[in-house]
Each structure stands twice: as structure tokens, then as C-alpha cells.
Amino acid sequence: MKELDEIKKLFEESLGLVKTMEDLNNLRTNFLGKSGHLTTCMKLIKDMSPEDKKSFGVGVNVLKDEVNKGIAEKQVELENLAIEKELADMPKVDLTTPTGKEKGSLHPVTIIEQRLGNIFRSMGFTIEDGNEVETEYNNFEAVNIPKFHPARDMQDTFYLNNGQVLKTHTSASQNRIMRKYGAPLKAIFPGRCFRNEELDASHENTFFQMEGMMIDKNVSISNLIYFMKTMLSEVFEREVNVRLRPGFFPFVEPGFELDCSCPYCGGKGCRVCKHSGWIELCPCGMIHPNVLKMGGIDPEEYQGFAFGLGLSRLVMMTYGFGDIRHLNGKDLKILEQTKLK
């Protein structure tokens, strides 16, 4: 019996030292193999007295069970450790992580539109949606371009069978917005516009504008200049100057072409401003009384300014695109240059 205790102690010690499957196999052989400790013990039985035989036999069997159990448990433990190690050594792959290569990005027009939106929102303007398919009335009559007015020639567009048109300018939404909110009103409305154009590097049949209107009591050209200067300085992230030249648009009186001092050379003259120091950026003016009236606003009480920023043009300038057709093109290499980092 003393031997059994010793074997048990030896087994427990040896089991504690097992680190690998190989160690475990050796242990198994040492205790249960043909000449293992337990097998050798069994051989002693035949020389024992019948009483000793019985108690010793029971003792050996109990120990044998313990040894088998210990080995089996150790085996499970080692197998689990092996799985854990394999998992830990595996390269970490998160299938939900987008890989850099396929990562999408906002379209450059959207990027600039959102930037402008934030600037105007911070100055108290709301951002409105405009329709792409408009009534002929909203696109022309409501902005003081009656039927057969020569201004229509410059804005030939796509006419639908039902008499509606693909809007030629964001000014087409002016009437709807005035009717929706009334005065006072401060809103911008970016949108896609369409014209029947001879296509070239600076003319597309589909392009983007951003219209803005401010209507209130005592609004003057000074307000127009202030907002345009502030907005453009924000857009170009440097102080710019603006100047107004007379320009004709049927829906404003007086109407202007607004030039901005070249943000790239600071007005000294460069390739972008064609060495003039100024860039023609944004037609604008004081809203024509007829337009206010048609929008349901009394021109005796309220005045306002409006502007129509060439969004596509601004995008091209900002990113140095030489051809407007890239903006609707499918060449992702070009569009990806503007990806936000």
C-alpha cells in the first residue's frame, strides 16, 4: 500500500510537469505501459496473501482510475491550449473593416456644396432642396422671363412632353421658396441644372449651381457685398475682396457680375485668373420687384438680394480641374484626387 501512495505522489508530481502532448504520452507509458509503475504493481499481486490481494487490488484499480482521469483531463487542457495558441497566432482579420482601396468618397461637388452649406448655415441661412424637373412658369415666367423673351435663347433646355422642363438654373426654385416661407427669408438652394449646350471643356449639359436669397426690410447691396465677401473668404480660407460690375439678368435690378480677387495669387496675377487678379464668380443683384410680387411678397415693404453661384465652376477652380466634363465622368482616378483624407 505504501508503494501505491508513492506511485500516486509520483504521478501527481509528474503530471504537474507535463507541458506537451509528448510529455503526456511519456507519462502514460511510464505509469500504464507494459513496464509502467502500475503494471509492475499488478504483477506483485500474485505473490500476496488473499486478504492483501483484495485490498491491494482495489487500491491499484482506484489509482489506475485516478491516473486515467488525470491523463484525460490533462489531454483536454493541452488541446485547448493548442487551439488558443493557434487562434492567437492567426493574422487578425476583421472582415468588417473597409480596406483602403475600395473606400468610397464624396463627390467633389458634394464636398464643396457641404462646405458652402455649413458657411451659410452659420450665417443663418436655411438650405433648401429644388426640383430638377420644373414647370416652365417657375423656370422662366416667375423669374421675369416671359414667353418669347430673348433671355430664353441662352437657356435652351430639355422640354418634357407634359410641358415641364429640366431646370436651367437654380433661380427656378425662387418662386416656390418665397411662396413657402414668405418674408423675411434667408435661404440657399443648391441644385443640378440642365441646358442644351454645345459640349466642351467649360460647357456641360448637366452642371451645378447654388442659389441664395435674402429678403428682409432694408436689405441693400451692402448686405449682398458683405455676405459674398464673408462666404468667399471662408471658402478659400483667406481674405478676399469682391467687386461688382453691371450685368443683366431679368430677375434682378440692378444686376451684377461679382468678381472675387484671385484667391490663388492674392490678386497679383496668375494662370487661374488669367493674369487679371480677378475671377468672375457669381452673378447677383437686387431681386426685381416683379419677382417678389410673383412670390407673394410686397416689394414696397421688402427688398432682397439673390445670387447664382456656379458650383461646378467653383469646384473646378478649387481642385484645379481643367475640364467640366470630369465632374459627371466616370474616371474615378480623377474624382479620387479630391478624396478627403
Handedness of CA 131, 137, 140, 144 (dihedral sign): negative
Nearer to ligand DAH, 41 or 258 (CB): 258
Beta carbon of residue 144, minimum distance to ligand DAH (angstroms, whole number): 11
Does 67 participate in binding ligand DAH (rule CB under 6 A)? no
Question: Looking at this protein, which amino acid is placed at residue 166?
Answer: L
Beta carbon of residue 227, minimum distance to ligand DAH (angstroms, whole number): 13
Residue given cell 424637373 in the structure block: 133
Give Cβ neighbours of residue 236 (< 8 Å, ≥ 6 apart): 260, 263
SS (H, E, C) 76-139: HHHHHHHHHHHHHHCCCCCCCCCCHHHCCCCCHHHHHHHHHHHHHHHCCCEECCCCCEECHHHH
Contact (Cβ atoms closer than 8 angstroms) between residue 28 and residue 71: yes
Residues 227, 261: Cα–Cα separation, whole Å = 15
Q: Is 26 exposed, middle or buried (0-12, 13-18, 19+ CB in 10 A)?
A: middle
- Judged by CB under 6 A, which stretch of 49-57, 101-109, 236-244, 306-314 contacts ligand DAH? 306-314
Beta bridge partners of 316: none
Does 306 participate in binding ligand DAH (rule CB under 6 A)? yes
**Which of 167, 169, 288, 313 is in the footprint of ligand DAH by CB under 6 A?**
169
Does 231 participate in binding ligand DAH (rule CB under 6 A)? no
Does 284 participate in binding ligand DAH (rule CB under 6 A)? yes
Nearer to ligand DAH, 56 or 249 (CB): 249
**Which of 116, 142, 252, 258 is in the footprint of ligand DAH by CB under 6 A?**
252
Name the nearest CA neighbour of 169 among 273, 290, 252: 252
Residues 139, 122: Cα–Cα separation, whole Å = 29
Give helix 2-17 / helix 21-32 axis angle, nearest 10°: 170
Beta carbon of residue 312, minimum distance to ligand DAH (angstroms, whole number): 11
Does 249 participate in binding ligand DAH (rule CB under 6 A)? yes
Does 285 participate in binding ligand DAH (rule CB under 6 A)? yes
Name the nearest CA neighbour of 141 among 285, 283, 250: 250
**Which of 138, 171, 173, 303 is in the footprint of ligand DAH by CB under 6 A?**
171
Does 167 participate in binding ligand DAH (rule CB under 6 A)? no
Does 307 participate in binding ligand DAH (rule CB under 6 A)? yes
Beta carbon of residue 174, minimum distance to ligand DAH (angstroms, whole number): 7
Does 288 participate in binding ligand DAH (rule CB under 6 A)? no
Nearer to ligand DAH, 11 or 128 (CB): 128
User: Cβ-closest residue to ligand DAH?
Assistant: 308
165 sits in which H/E element: strand 165-166
Nearer to ligand DAH, 170 or 261 (CB): 170
Q: Which set of grid coordinates corresponds to residue 256?
A: 451684377
Residues 109, 326: Cα–Cα separation, whole Å = 11
The interface with ligand DAH within residues 91-150 (CB under 6 A) comprises: none
The interface with ligand DAH within residues 184-213 (CB under 6 A) comprises: 211
- Judged by CB under 6 A, which stretch of 122-130, 159-167, 249-257, 292-300 contacts ligand DAH? 249-257
Residues 311, 113: Cα–Cα separation, whole Å = 8
Beta carbon of residue 243, minimum distance to ligand DAH (angstroms, whole number): 16
Beta carbon of residue 280, minimum distance to ligand DAH (angstroms, whole number): 12
Does 321 participate in binding ligand DAH (rule CB under 6 A)? no
Which residues here bind ligand DAH, judged by CB under 6 A?
A: 169, 171, 211, 249, 252, 255, 283-285, 306-308
